[in-house]
Amino acid sequence: MSRVEVVGYALDDYQDAITRLRWLRENQRLSTRRVEELGGPGYSTISEAETGAHSMGASALFAYARALGYDLALIPREDAP
């Protein structure tokens, strides 16, 4: 699985996080079912979050990022790009 450079990317809000994670998933050519197999949230949770039908909880959001090979982090605002 190849990684895309996203160092220093600051998320504006929940929808921005979902949009970025979807972009990463699609860039890696992973289905929602494959993300689930990699330890992410269930495929229906991902699909519903990506379409805006339901919000994903924090633990699912972190699991989604981890399954794609990324971590979500808290960065002090003064250190953010």
Q: Would you tell me the crossing angle of helices 58-67 and 14-27 to the nearest 10 degrees?
A: 20
What DSSP state is assigned to residue 13?
S
- Whether the per-residue pLDDT at 76 is higher than 80: the answer is no
- pLDDT reported for residue 75: 73
Dist. CA 81–CA 3, nearest whole Å: 21
- Residue-range domains of the chain with CATH: 14-70 (1.10.260)
pLDDT tens per residue, range 3-53: 555 555 678 889 999 999 999 999 999 999 999 999 999 999 999 999 999
Query: Could you tell me the pTM of the whole model?
Result: 0.83
- DSSP letter, residue 49: H
- List, in sequence order, the alpha helices (H) in the chain: 14-27, 32-37, 43-51, 58-67
Helix axes 14-27, 43-51, angle to 10 degrees: 120
Q: Mean pLDDT throughout 54-65?
A: 96
